[in-house]
Amino acid sequence: MDRITPLTVPLGQAEVFQALQRLHMTIFSQSVSPCGKFLAAGNNYGQIAIFSLSAALSSEAKEESKKPVVTFQAHDGPVYSMVSTDRHLLSAGDGEVKAWLWAEILKKGCKEMWRRQPPYRTSLEVPEINALLLVPKENSLILAGGDCQLHTMDLETGAFTRALRGHTDYIHCLALRERSPEVLSGGEDGAVRLWDLRTAKEAQTIEVYKHEECSRPHNGRWIGCLATDSDWMVCGGGPALTLWHLRSSTPTTIFPMRAPQKHVTFYQDLILSAGQGHCINHWQLSGELKAQVPGSSPGLLSLSLNQQPAAPECKVLTAAGNSCRVDVFTNLGYRAFSLSF
Amino acid sequence: MSSESSKKRKPKVIRSDGAPAEGKRNRSDMEQEGKYYSEEAEVDLRDPGRDYELYKYTCQELQRLMAEIQDLKSRGGKDVAIEIEERRIQSCVHFMTLKKLNRLAHIRLKKGRDQTHEAKQKVDAYHLQLQNLLYEVMHLQKEITKCLEFKSKHEEIDLVSLEEFYKEAPADISKAEVTMGDPHQQTLARLDWELEQRKRLAEKYRDSLSNKEKILKEIEVKKEYLSSLQPRLNSIMQASLPVQEYLFMPFDQAHKQYETARHLPPPLYVLFVQATAYGQACAHMKSSQPPRQDKTLSVAIEGSVDEAKALFKPPDDSQDDESDSDAEEEQTTKRRRPTLGVQLDDKRKEMLKRHPLSVMVDLKCKDDSVLHLTFYYLMNLNILTVKAKVTTATELITPISAGDLLSPDSVLSCLYPGDHGKKTPNPANQYQFDKVGILTLRDYVLDLGHPYLWVQKLGGLHFPKEQPQHTVIADHSLSASHMETTMKLLKTRVQSRLALHKQFASLEHGIVPVTSDCQYLFPAKVVSRLVKWVTIAHEDYVELHFTKDIVEAGLAGDTNLYYMALIERGTAKLQAAVVLNPGYSSIPPVFQLCLNWKGEKTNSNDDNIRAMESEVNVCYKELCGPRPSHQLLTNQLQRLCVLLDVYLETESHDDTVEGPKEFPQEKMCLRLFR
């Protein structure tokens, strides 16, 4: 049988370890820089890598352009979530949120601007932070994670203003409803809760697993992903990917996807979702599968759309997950290339 | 004379003619002179011109008379006779005159001749004198020139320069006042001085010669003394042998070894020296007792010294033989094909020939197992090879899967990363191989030993990657720096292999041997069981569908060992394919999992499997256990069992749940379902 044997380079201990690390790397989060030219990706070893999208997308892109411009150890634990303000990159994972200045981040030996830890009930073990959400109107940051609470932090003062309790198990994801303003959170307990930020109270609760159409008990009840578009919300995870009408709290469309979805987002008139399985699924609002675009990782955990107005040439969709690679889609229909750690 | 001649003439005159003399004036002369008559004197008196006239007159008269006689005779008559008689008398007189004149002419002639003769003689004498003088002149001139050209020997002598001469010569020789003006004297003086100096030097020379003789004699004496000392020393050494043995200081033995070592080829020599030095250094460092040979490292030389010496026989004979045999072989190959293979075989054997001496190094490890290393030097290829053997204190029962662990072929493979010892490290060998049709050294490795790179470095042979090396530069510094690391690596290697050996024995029986000091890594109760542990071949590993990532990452080469483990709990079967790198405990084994439980789950379709793999592969450092981490493999297997337990128990709707277990929280990925 004709099989191309890969080059077996004499591997010392360090090289073997590096190879094993890369094989077992998972990229949990991505974030685009405010100028739109750089992409930050955080992995399960606590490292953050900054890729130059403009270099990788330019016509003279070489192999090195697909490697990170700089990689640094940001956290001790995995970096589960990252967001960007117009000057800072905020990353969170092991119970702390750290801020990095985008202007400085490309220099070696970059230090975080500040780090904050929300007040936890127990000091024995530090719960992880799974999701970060920026609320631009209040200039605050919402953190949610293993301690089942949503903490709000004021970005100017750094003080933690609110702690919203209600979930009985840890929180996977957050979404912001612009108009109200309301925050949606989905968690391991299978419920999507809506919080009113002004009153700091729970406004609405949707227990997805209790709805027969979408629940899939063999997968569990956890809500892995949330996205909202004012009146509509799409959520998925253990239960099937479903589009809900928020005011009536009814599921309107169920997307026939077997594998649990880990990330979902609205894009123009499509819903893009990704999860177990290597494809990004393009759904129409009616529930039909428009396209399935294969990526390079066996499972995807995060999607990022670079819609920064400052860099229209870098308008790409990037997807990352259970591998050390970040797939770049210049046209949503096919994978252009992959950046790799 | 004149008187005799005159006496003779007288009778002549009287006899011949008694006739009266007419016109003879000489009679008057005769009367005048007395008794003797000298016609010579007459000749001087008479005028030759007049005599000539007289002669002519006389001849005429004769002629006239003759004519008259003739006439008378012809007329005839009586009175004619008287007239004829008269005329006859007159003609007789005339005849006498003629005779006289003739005599006078003769005398004149004679005189003239005599005079000429005399003059000629004189002239000759003068001429001779002149010649003599001329000769003499020439001779003298030659002599003069010779004298002038004469180079006296003294000019060939290098005399000291004038200034030096005046400086050095004592006053009585140099005589400055005299010699300054007179160059001849000066030269003489200088010659004197030269002679003086030479005499002195000759003296000195004689003295030194005699000194030298003396010293030579002394040397002879001392040599005698020394040569008589040598046998005595030998006998002392012999006598001291038993004492050496008693004190465990085998100097003699070491000395013998060094003797043999001299015949080693340079790389083996370097290896020998460094190994002995290292062994002694270790002994010094370890023990505070009187220094003794370190028992953990012993070096010996094996082989035949005579053969080694024979290698250095004059090459001419062997070259001639070779060319002859080559010629023969060429001829035979033209005739018979089969010998080509034989000839090639011989050439191969020649190329791969080993030096008859080899160095044996024995490394003892703490548990009394010994690693025997025998180092050989391949002369034509200029590389070192090693054969290894492990012997243990107790007899080992080899489990089936551990067959390759301690085999001499692979026990030293990849001691340093990538050093698999199947290819010759000397790039020049490739050209040599092409000549005799050897493809790679791999085929001969079992017989000749493995040419690992660290062996070359221990022997001080350094092969740069690009250019072929033509000279044997055996470098001690290279060897020394590698000796320590290599010895340590060798020891670790042997120990880890032996540990694995033992572990495999128990793994095959389904028991994961976890030592007591690693027990803290695992929870007290582990339900999943190891059911099977077998070796699989490299090709089989590559064929498995869940190992593709590892193969693509280049971690699964043909120098690794592959195993398959099966862990079961209830209906769940977890297959683990293990890649064991020869550099075992520093390079961790890599696991790839495939779970058969409610469908087939591998890392491509189930995150949990992925998490389990990364738990065991990436986080291996905490599973290492106490140094020297020989427990890594067993700990990893135990960890797998634990993970399987956790996984199965945290699955919802799982039949085999037994009860809550503690979760190693930090390890599991968030996105795992709990």
| Whole-angstrom distance, CA of residue B319 vs CA of residue B368 | 50
B588 with A20: Cβ contact below 8 A: yes
Residues B412 and B537 in one domain: no
**DSSP states of A86-130:** SSEEEEE-SS-EEEEETTTTTSTT---SEEE-PPPS-SSSPPPEE
Question: Is residue B280 included in any domain, yes or no?
Answer: yes
The minimum CA-CA distance between A103 and chain B, rounded to whole Å, is 31
Question: Is residue B66 included in any domain, yes or no?
Answer: yes
Residues B377 and B490 in one domain: yes
| Whole-angstrom distance, CA of residue B248 vs CA of residue B245 | 5
How many domains are contained in chain B?
3
Residues B521 and B559 in one domain: yes
Q: Residue B466's pLDDT band (boundaries 50, 70, 90)?
A: very low
Query: What residue type is A283 in one-letter code?
Result: W
**Is pLDDT of B653 > 80?**
no
Beta bridge partners of A185: A174, A193
- Mean pLDDT is lowest, of B113-127, B159-173, B647-661, for B647-661
Closest among B251, B233, B241 to B293, alpha carbons compared: B251
Residues B385 and B488 in one domain: yes
Residues B481 and B539 in one domain: no
The minimum CA-CA distance between A83 and chain B, rounded to whole Å, is 19
B665 with A299: Cβ contact below 8 A: no
Q: Which residue of A has its CA nearest to B585?
A: A13
Closest among B206, B205, B193 to B158, alpha carbons compared: B193
pTM here is: 0.61
Residues B551 and B458 in one domain: no
* Cβ neighbours around B117 below 10 Å, total: 10
pLDDT, averaged across chain B: 74
pLDDT (tens digit per residue) in B23-65: 455 555 555 555 677 777 777 777 888 888 988 999 998 888 8
Question: Is residue B130 included in any domain, yes or no?
Answer: no
- Chain B interface residues facing chain A, Cβ-Cβ under 8 Å? 417-419, 542, 549-559, 581, 583, 586-588, 590, 603-605, 607, 610, 613-614, 617-618, 652-653, 665-666, 669-671, 673-674
**Is pLDDT of B585 > 50?**
yes
Of B419, B586, B618, the CB nearest to A21: B618
**Is pLDDT of B603 > 80?**
no
Count residue pairs from A and B with Cβ separation < 8 A: 88
Residues B401 and B541 in one domain: no
A22 with B553: Cβ contact below 8 A: yes
Q: Which residue of B has its CA nearest to A171?
A: B670
Q: Residue B474's pLDDT band (boundaries 50, 70, 90)?
A: low
The tokens for B633 are 């493999």
Residues B489 and B530 in one domain: no
- Asked if A22 is an interface residue toward chain B (Cβ–Cβ < 8 A), one would say yes
| Whole-angstrom distance, CA of residue A274 vs CA of residue A265 | 9
The dihedral through the CA atoms of A260, A148, A96, A131 has a sign that is: positive
Residues B475 and B602 in one domain: no
Q: Which residue of A has its CA nearest to B419?
A: A10
Q: Considering only residues 122 to 141 of chain A, which have any Cβ-Cβ distance to chain B shorter than 8 Å?
A: 125, 128, 130
**Is pLDDT of B658 > 70?**
no
Residues B379 and B447 in one domain: yes
pLDDT of chain A along its 341 residues, tens only? 344 444 445 566 777 788 878 878 888 888 888 888 888 888 888 888 888 888 888 877 778 778 888 888 888 888 888 888 888 888 888 878 888 888 888 777 778 888 888 877 766 667 788 888 888 888 888 888 888 888 888 888 888 888 888 888 888 888 888 777 788 888 888 888 888 888 888 888 888 888 877 777 777 778 888 888 878 888 888 888 888 888 888 888 888 887 888 888 888 888 888 888 788 888 888 888 888 888 888 888 888 888 888 777 778 888 888 888 888 888 888 888 888 88
B587 with A78: Cβ contact below 8 A: no
A15 with B418: Cβ contact below 8 A: no
Which of A326-335, B155-164, B173-182, B326-335 tops mean pLDDT? A326-335
B666 with A20: Cβ contact below 8 A: no
The minimum CA-CA distance between B617 and chain A, rounded to whole Å, is 7
- Asked if A106 is an interface residue toward chain B (Cβ–Cβ < 8 A), one would say no
**Interface probe, candidates B452, B617, B671, B673, chain A, greatest A C-beta count within 10 A:** B671
B554 with A7: Cβ contact below 8 A: yes
The tokens for B526 are 């582990």
The minimum CA-CA distance between B338 and chain A, rounded to whole Å, is 36
Mean pLDDT of B216-236: 91
Beta bridge partners of A227: A234
**Is pLDDT of B12 > 60?**
no
| Helix B266-286 and helix B251-261, axial crossing angle in degrees, nearest 10 | 160
Of A6, A222, A301, the CB nearest to B554: A6
A299 with B550: Cβ contact below 8 A: no
**DSSP states of B446-477:** HHH-B--HHHHHHTT----SSSPP-S----HH
> Peptide bond preceding B628: is omega within 30 degrees of 0, i.e. cis?
yes
- Asked if A341 is an interface residue toward chain B (Cβ–Cβ < 8 A), one would say no
Give the burial class of A307: count Cβ atoms within 10 A of its Cβ; 0-12 exposed, 13-18 middle, 19 or more buried.
Answer: middle
Of A20, A217, A301, the CB nearest to B671: A301
Asked if residue A118 lies in contact with residue A160, where contact means CB atoms within 8 angstroms, the answer is: yes
B618 with A8: Cβ contact below 8 A: no
B418 with A11: Cβ contact below 8 A: yes
Q: Considering only residues 54 to 83 of chain A, which have any Cβ-Cβ distance to chain B shorter than 8 Å?
A: 77-78, 80
Q: How far from A72 is each of A13, A64, A294, B341, CA to CA, in Å?
A: 22, 17, 29, 63
The tokens for A228 are 């909202």
Question: Is residue B5 included in any domain, yes or no?
Answer: no
Which of B138-142, B379-383, B417-421 tops mean pLDDT? B138-142
Residues B435 and B478 in one domain: yes
Domain closes at, from B118, B141, B157 = B118
Question: Is residue B374 included in any domain, yes or no?
Answer: yes
**Is pLDDT of B325 > 70?**
no
Question: Is residue B416 included in any domain, yes or no?
Answer: yes
Domain closes at, from B68, B100, B118 = B118
The tokens for B524 are 């007290």
Beta bridge partners of B386: B375, B450
Burial B505-544 (b: 16+ CB within 10 A, else e): bebbeeebbbeeebeebbeeebebebebbebbeeeebbeb
Mean pLDDT of B84-95: 86
The tokens for B368 are 């009394």
> In terms of pLDDT, which residue wins out, A80 or B406?
A80
Question: Is residue B470 included in any domain, yes or no?
Answer: yes
Q: Which residue of B has its CA nearest to A24?
A: B614
Q: Could you tell me the residue range of the domain that residue B351 belongs to?
A: 262-284+294-309+341-495
Residues B437 and B402 in one domain: yes
A217 with B553: Cβ contact below 8 A: no
The minimum CA-CA distance between A3 and chain B, rounded to whole Å, is 10
Query: What residue type is A95 in one-letter code?
Result: G
With beta carbons under 8 A apart, name residues in chain B contacting A78. 669-670
Asked if residue B80 lies in contact with residue B73, where contact means CB atoms within 8 angstroms, the answer is: yes
Question: Is residue B348 included in any domain, yes or no?
Answer: yes
Residues in chain A: 341
- Asked if A297 is an interface residue toward chain B (Cβ–Cβ < 8 A), one would say no
Q: Considering only residues 182 to 201 of chain A, which have any Cβ-Cβ distance to chain B shorter than 8 Å?
A: 188
Asked if residue B229 lies in contact with residue B324, where contact means CB atoms within 8 angstroms, the answer is: no
With beta carbons under 8 A apart, name residues in chain A contacting B485. none
| Whole-angstrom distance, CA of residue A99 vs CA of residue A85 | 10
- Residue B268 has a pLDDT of 82
